[in-house]
């Protein structure tokens, strides 16, 4: 008997669209381009670059990604509204393989409370929008939003009509993460059995993780015939997130027995690198026990496990660290290394920096090499990420001094630069970090509410850099940032100041002298 030919499961990455909608995960223009470049090297099939109608910046970023990326298709999201479709079409037009992704809710609860439209009206709007999108682009995807809570017969009717109208991909979203794997698999099977023209389009799924079933639901869909999955790096996204790209890809690779004759084109040895890049630029930390890419994913503490690992790795390890790109950290550079060697190592790690950024990164490296004896790959990546995340700064940290102790009131003295102006102030707090942040808040006249603060070592050793991640609310705007240093108070201040700078840049910077500083030291 001839062996059945393996079918490709298309990996549609929506990190730059749904992933960025995760609270606090906003990205600047350069950061989006770097993630798009990394996704292209990862060899995903489709990059959903954004929601162009959302803002002029979104439209500009989608167009820039469309101009940059030449491997994957580049998709933009649009509501079933003509203006949305036109803006989306213009944004993805430069892509070698453009796609317009239109969506419209179909479930009873959305029809009644959000759209206030009858089934027939929604069906007509979906068909008209797909036909209109096809005038601009041959690759059109249609998503019946909240499909998992839509009556199956009506869902099948909408899917059939959208395919007839010219949709090349039909995406079935579990928009609110309500479905269970068996139920969702049955729904997919129902569509394959009841949509006559189902073979004329690629059927995809987009699962959310509200009940922790996004990956399981996506796998169930594949077992029932789906050949495309929408997912994000690290599973980031709205609310509890999306199906995690690294989990779905490695599940298909590791459990080929359960998923025979399917494969992806993803270059898995880049997974860990891309995971860390996205984590750094979005400020969304990867939990230690996260499947596949978490720092504990290949850690074995129990004696029985360690004994088995020493005898045969496969006793307790179903994947090899090198399969996802984890390699042993090793000394790569010293403080006497030159710029040429530094650039070579940055290129090896996949950090694409321009000449100016290399100079800034090299200066950071030399400063770090003076503080710690051993420089690891992760140290270099932390330096590279700082450059990739950099944006025009309203304020620069020039000097930080803290006084703290068991019988001392924690006090921080901070000096900031704004252009040619230097301002200095001091304040007290509950601890050295709190004192530093309060000083920055007072100097910039920008009040923020710290929502999350986390610290983890970048590498090993007493002199390891500490990477601080903060999420800060400024009124209704929530932003995140990371910074790494051998001094965790400095890292905390830099991360917080990055959040302040982002908010001020978005608002339009006010001159420093109007923010309470003339270069004089003020009392705490």
Quick check: is 482 in a domain?
Answer: yes
Section 300-306 average pLDDT: 43
Helix-then-strand count for the chain, H and E? 16, 16
Q: 455: which strand partners?
A: 468
Residues 377 and 431 in one domain: no
Quick check: is 150 in a domain?
Answer: yes
Quick check: is 289 in a domain?
Answer: no
Instruction: Decide if 204 contacts 172 (C-beta within 8 A).
Output: yes
pLDDT tier at 328, thresholds 50, 70, 90: low
Instruction: Decide if 133 contacts 78 (C-beta within 8 A).
Output: yes
**Last residue of a domain, which of 349, 372, 388?**
388
Quick check: is 290 in a domain?
Answer: no
Residues 13 and 113 in one domain: yes
Q: Over 90: is that where the pLDDT of 368 sits?
A: no
Q: Over 70: is that where the pLDDT of 420 sits?
A: yes
User: Side by side, which strands form the sheet with 396-405?
Assistant: 396-405, 408-418, 421-428
Gap between the terminal Cα atoms of the chain = 83
For residue 498, what is the domain's CATH number?
3.30.160.270
Residues 24 and 137 in one domain: yes
Report the distance separating Cα 287 and Cα 296, nearest Å: 9
Quick check: is 271 in a domain?
Answer: yes
Residues 176 and 145 in one domain: yes
Residues 231 and 362 in one domain: no
Fill in the DSSP letter of residue 81.
S
Question: pLDDT value at position 383?
Answer: 86
Residues 111 and 192 in one domain: yes
Residues 419 and 344 in one domain: no
Residues 270 and 402 in one domain: no
Section 258-275 average pLDDT: 95
Residues 307 and 412 in one domain: no
Instruction: Decide if 15 contacts 39 (C-beta within 8 A).
Output: yes
Report the distance separating Cα 503 and Cα 77, nearest Å: 26
Question: pLDDT value at position 522?
Answer: 34
| Low-confidence winner among 331-340, 404-413, 456-465 (lowest mean pLDDT) | 331-340
3-state class (DSSP) for residue 135: coil
Instruction: Tell which residue, 201, 270, 259, 200, has the closest CA to residue 233.
Output: 270
Which contiguous run of DSSP H or E holds residue 294? Answer: none
pLDDT higher at 360 or 350? 360
Give Cα 392 to chain centroid, integer Å: 21
Residues 308 and 253 in one domain: no
For residue 125, what is the domain's CATH number?
3.20.20.70
> What digits encode the pLDDT tens for the residues 206-256?
999 999 999 999 999 999 999 999 999 999 999 999 999 999 999 999 999
The count of structural domains within the chain is 4
Quick check: is 291 in a domain?
Answer: no
> What digits encode the pLDDT tens for the residues 480-522?
888 889 999 999 999 999 999 989 987 775 434 433 333 333 3
Quick check: is 408 in a domain?
Answer: yes
Report the distance separating Cα 299 and Cα 429, nearest Å: 38
pTM over 0.85: no
Residues 11 and 134 in one domain: yes
Quick check: is 67 in a domain?
Answer: yes
Structure tokens at 413: 């003295």
Report the distance separating Cα 44 and Cα 451, nearest Å: 33
Report the distance separating Cα 453 and Cα 214, nearest Å: 27
Q: What does pLDDT average to over the chain?
A: 89
Domain of 363 in residue numbering reads as 339-388
| Low-confidence winner among 158-162, 309-313, 407-411, 417-421 (lowest mean pLDDT) | 309-313
> What digits encode the pLDDT tens for the residues 27-78?
888 889 999 999 999 999 999 999 999 999 999 999 999 999 999 999 999 9
Structure tokens at 376: 């690891």
Section 165-181 average pLDDT: 98
Residues 369 and 457 in one domain: no
For 33, other C-beta atoms within 10 Å of its C-beta total 21
């Amino acid at each position: 008997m001839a062996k059945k030919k393996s079918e490709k499961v298309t990996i549609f990455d929506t990190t730059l669209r749904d992933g960025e909608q995760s609270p606090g995960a906003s990205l600047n223009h350069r950061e989006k381009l770097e993630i798009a470049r990394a996704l292209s090297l990862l060899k995903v099939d489709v990059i959903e670059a954004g929601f162009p109608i959302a803002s002029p910046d979104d439209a500009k970023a989608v167009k820039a990604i469309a101009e940059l990326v030449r491997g994957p298709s580049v998709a933009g999201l649009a509501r079933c509204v003509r203006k949305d479709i036109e803006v989306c079409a213009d944004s993805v037009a430069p892509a070698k393989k453009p796609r317009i992704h239109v969506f419209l809710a179909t479930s009873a609860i959305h029809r009644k409370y959000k759209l206030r439209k009858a089934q027939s009206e929604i069906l007509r709007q979906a068909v008209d929008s797909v036909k209109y999108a096809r005038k601009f682009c041959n690759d059109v995807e249609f998503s019946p939003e909240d499909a998992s809570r839509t009556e199956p017969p009506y869902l099948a009717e909408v899917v059939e009509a959208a395919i007839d109208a010219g949709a090349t991909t039909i995406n079935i979203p579990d928009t609110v993460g309500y479905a269970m794997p068996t139920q969702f698999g049955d729904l997919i099977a129902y569509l394959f059995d009841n949509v006559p023209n189902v073979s004329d389009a690629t059927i995809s799924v987009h699962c959310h993780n509200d009940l922790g079933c996004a990956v399981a639901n996506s796998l169930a869909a594949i077992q029932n015939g789906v050949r495309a999955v929408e997912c994000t790096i690290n599973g980031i996204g709205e609310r509890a997130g999306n199906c995690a790209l690294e989990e779905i890809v490695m599940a298909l690779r590791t459990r080929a027995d359960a998923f025979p004759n399917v494969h992806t084109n993803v270059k898995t040895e880049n997974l860990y690198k891309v995971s860390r890049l996205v984590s750094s630029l979005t400020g969304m930390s990867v939990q230690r026990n996260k499947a596949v890419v978490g720092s504990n994913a290949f850690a074995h503490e129990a004696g029985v496990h360690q004994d088995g690992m020493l005898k045969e790795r496969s006793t307790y390890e179903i994947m090899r660290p090198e399969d996802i790109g984890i390699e042993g950290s090793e000394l790569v550079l010293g403080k006497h290394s030159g710029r040429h060697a530094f650039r070579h190592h940055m290129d090896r790690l996949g950090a694409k920096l321009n000449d100016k950024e290399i100079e800034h990164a090299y200066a950071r490296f030399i400063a770090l090499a003076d503080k710690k004896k051993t420089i690891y790959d992760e140290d270099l990546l932390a330096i590279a990420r700082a450059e990739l995340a950099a944006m025009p700064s309203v304020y620069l940290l020039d000097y930080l001094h803290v006084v703290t102790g068991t019988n001392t009131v924690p006090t921080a003295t901070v000096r900031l630069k704004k252009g040619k102006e230097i301002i200095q102030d001091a304040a007290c707090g509950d601890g050295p970090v709190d004192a530093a942040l309060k000083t920055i808040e007072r100097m910039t006249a920008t009040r923020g509410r710290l929502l999350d603060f986390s610290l983890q070592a970048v590498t090993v050793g007493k002199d390891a850099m500490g990477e601080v991640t903060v999420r800060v609310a400024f009124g209704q705007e929530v932003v995140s940032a990371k910074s790494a240093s051998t001094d965790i108070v400095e890292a905390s201040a830099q991360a917080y100041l990055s959040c302040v700078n982002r908010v001020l840049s978005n608002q339009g910077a006010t001159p420093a002298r109007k923010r309470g500083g003339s270069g004089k030291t003020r009392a705490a």
